[in-house]
Amino acid sequence: MKLDWIQHLIILPVLLPLLCGALLILINESRHQFKFFVNLTSVLLQLIIAIALIRLTDNDVWMDGIGVYLAANWSAPFGISLIADRLAAMMLLLTAILATAALLYSMMRWSRIGVHFHTLFQFLLMGINGAFLTHDLFNLFVFFEVMLAASYGLVLHGYNTARIRAGMQYIAINLAASLLFLIGVALIYASTGTLNMADLAARIPQVDANDLVFLKIGVAILAIAFLVKSAMWPLGFWLPTTYSAASPPVAAMLVLMTKVGAYVILRLWLLIFSPDAGAVAGYGYDALLWGGMATIVFGAAGMLASEGLGRMAGYGAIVSSGTLLAVIGYGQASLVTAGLYYLLGSTMAMAAFVLLIELVERIRSPGANMLALTMEAFAIEEKPEETAGVGIPGALAFLGLAFAGCALIIAGLPPLSGFVAKFGLFHALLHPDASNILISSTTWALMTLIVLSGLAAIISLMRFGVRTFWASGAIASPRLHLSEVLPISALLLLCVILTVQAGPVFAYLERTSNDLHKPSQYIDRVISEPAVPNASVSGGRP
């Protein structure tokens, strides 16, 4: 048996940004354009690799649509296993898309306001990609730390007072979460003797009662670490401040980082707490469901109370994260399918929104803001001026249309992907997988919260839009660069494509959800992957 060359594609999303980031350290900061070109080349290659992995996992090239890469040629559970399945490939593609958009947006200004932006950006991608591909809890911790260490530098990049204050809070909270991560991993290893996810899922049914207590405690502590990163209430208080303080391209990547925690929860819980897990089957699902619902309430209230777009975006991301956690906790395969569609659309729309914020702020002045608030408070009517023959400048038209598109998707209004996602969620909730399951009050409560969160989003965003585009008086058309307009337009266009191609996308996501709900197939595929015989490495095992 020989290792097929296509299996090496699995490690490239980790290896490529690692090598590129190391190379960029050696290039002088004065060569901005060259560093940007190297960074962009790496990101585009990662985009191509992600597309290739989607095709490989979805076309039965690998058994059961799962590609396994054994690092150092050690079989699981002893070695480090990297796994590419439909879910991991989809998240890699989403990462590459957002990275491309954020990097293009940073070209003219944001990548030049500090040092080592491109190096940190590549190391951030290395950590995110590794978290999606790894199948070992300790290596998941390593990739999380690489991701967080890079994000610390990026959040503080081009520092000012607000950014330093928010950055220090962000760093302190995530360091505490990392400590909890290590404690949880230690307790899980002490109770089961393994950290390989497939081996862990296989051993859990045989864990005795005494060790089961430590396992539950370890998993609960581990979950807190992930839920801090997912901004679950009451652990997500740090997120709005960080979003509003970070530079736009960094904030766009933070949108994705929030979803990394939800991804790990989805991956772990459906694997190790499946119906085959014995005494711990379904452990923690109720906490995820009710915690997710509380997070939706917190995020919706925060959006209504916020005046600035940065904080609105932060609370909008909290609503999105809460919806995903509630979907996972509900424990229904068809709902996971709709939840993954919601993840794709909401992540791209929120990333476009945080990139748009800085462009919208260019047309707002403190005096105009105060005038708009005063006129709204005292119900002052302004006599409209004659507008016949006055055209709308192209930049203002773009900002208005882009703002409206983001608002429609975030609020879940027709006809874009946000509405399709929420319709899919409601359809799954009202049509359980088993016909003998009754629709409970919890189902109606979740549906009500999703509707009310969308209402809160459209109220807060419309209020801001009216004050900015209509009630600010005469506003000058801002100067926009193509590198700023293109990524926002591309993300919104992808949301439109996601809407038009909802059928094929839902079919792919249904296959993804079905795979996640077959843990025994996943376990057998990982554990049975053989090492390559007659492969020797100097100083290693033959």
Q: Which distant-in-sequence residues (6+ apart) come within 8 Å of 486 by Cβ?
A: 104
Among 142, 167, 154, which Cα is nearest to 39's? Answer: 154
Tokens of 144: 């999380």
Q: Report the distance separating Cα 93 and Cα 323, nearest Å.
A: 22
Q: Which pLDDT value is given to residue 534?
A: 63
Full 3-state SS string of 296-330: HHHHHHHHHHCCCHHHHHHHHHHHHHHHHHHHHHH
Q: Is the pTM of this model over 0.75?
A: yes
**What does the alpha-carbon distance between residue 69 and residue 147 come to, in Å, rounded to a whole number?**
21
| Cα(258)–Cα(239) distance, integer angstroms | 9
Q: Are 86 and 15 in contact (CB under 8 A)?
A: no
Q: How far is CA 349 from CA 405, 406, 412, 522, in A?
A: 8, 6, 11, 32
Task: Please list the pLDDT of the chain residue by residue as tens digits (542 residues).
Answer: 455 678 888 899 999 999 998 998 888 877 888 888 999 999 999 999 999 999 988 887 888 788 888 887 777 777 788 888 899 999 999 999 999 999 999 887 787 777 788 899 999 999 999 999 998 888 899 998 999 999 988 888 877 788 888 888 888 888 998 899 999 999 988 888 888 888 888 888 888 878 888 888 988 998 898 898 888 888 888 888 888 888 889 989 999 988 888 899 998 888 888 887 777 888 888 899 999 999 999 999 999 988 888 888 889 889 999 999 999 988 888 889 999 999 999 999 999 999 998 888 877 654 444 444 444 444 444 444 444 434 456 778 888 888 889 899 998 888 888 899 999 999 888 888 766 677 788 889 999 999 999 999 999 988 888 877 775 555 667 778 888 889 999 999 999 999 999 999 999 999 998 888 888 888 888 887 777 776 554 444 44
| 169 close to 154: Cβ distance less than 8 angstroms | no
List, in order, residues 6 or more apart from 247 with CB less than 8 Å away: 106, 110, 113, 154, 157, 158, 163
**Partners of residue 81 on adjacent β-strands:** 70
Query: How far is residue 186's CA from residue 191's CA, in Å, rounded to a whole number?
Result: 9
3-state SS class at 523: helix
